[in-house]
Amino acid sequence: MEFFLLQANELNSAYNYFPIALQLIFGAGLVATMIIGSSLLGPKRSTPEKLQNFESGIDIKGNARQPFAIKYFLVAILFVLFDVEVIFFYPYAVNFRELGWEGFIAVVLFVSLFLSGFIYIVKKGALKWED
């Protein structure tokens, strides 16, 4: 007990993190107990209707494992890329007076790099939908 009291006097000791670790252990234990308890105590009545996939009330057509065009993924990645670009404008908009011309040149360079990437994407035909 004396060891813990000596450790508690230090500003950044492991003793200070003990309540957090204890809370994480109890939280993980609670989650594990609930998952295991529900699987052991819950009803197990499997019927063909319950095991069938539910697609928003629409009858299932085809196989869900069939490949589809990479264009969907490409458009999603482009959306994330340009969405993140807009997020970087917020700090500039808040501090544009303090940043002065140096900040303006940095933002123009940033926008020109993204604009050149967008022009490359358009020239490669990544946004053309054929199907």
AA letter at 113: L
- Is residue 107 within 8 A of residue 100, CB to CB? The reply is no
Distance of alpha carbon 77 from alpha carbon 121, whole angstroms: 12
* Cross-strand bridge partners of residue 58: 55
Calpha distance 124→71 (Å, rounded) = 12
Average pLDDT by stretches of 10, the chain with 131 residues: 54 82 96 94 83 71 74 80 82 85 90 87 78 56
pLDDT of residue 14: 77
**Domain ranges in the chain?**
2-51, 71-124
Say if domain 71-124 classifies as CATH 1.20.58.1610. yes
| Residues 90, 107: Cα–Cα separation, whole Å | 11
Amino acid, single-letter form, for residue 88: F
